[in-house]
Structure 1
């Protein structure tokens, strides 16, 4: 993805590579500074390298770890809470996502342009 230092930084996290890449491509085309992580480990690596996302589009079911746990760990590592957008293929998680501090919730398959509408500009 292209780096735009004066544009909002977005982290897309999904263990489904095609989903993550398609979201990142659309957001990149919309001018966001976009990075992709396919696992919780990659999230840690990006943050460790200094990436400071303004918002995170995060799959709730990452297989090896819950997106809820990843969000908590990410916020702790950043020392702040970016805009958190839950993206999930499981119905019935919207209330939990709100309780866990997510600002927005989308059910897969979500339109990347709709998700972009809730991201910082």
Structure 2
């Protein structure tokens, strides 16, 4: 699979909460890194491997119910891609909605995702956690 196909499949699977498909598109030693400020709580991550990737994603599930996920932009250059998504969550404690956007930078080798670097709207997330 080419880079664009892999990323589109991963985004579609993530939007459908299909973690099995997402993990199937990743290498065993996937590098996942979320760049955010400490006031965003436990959402910072810099990990390697599928188990650590799942653990990082599960930190969101502790605080948020998944609402919607929409791909806004996809830019591909060789084995690298950048995406921008609109994301909606509901705070499990307060019931408050969170609507935000994030940017992900992807690396794909031999049809598998080897790295995801994520940047978040830390101000919106911090305010919504309160």
| TM-score (norm. length: structure 1) | 0.31
Greater strand content: 2
| TM-score (norm. length: structure 2) | 0.29
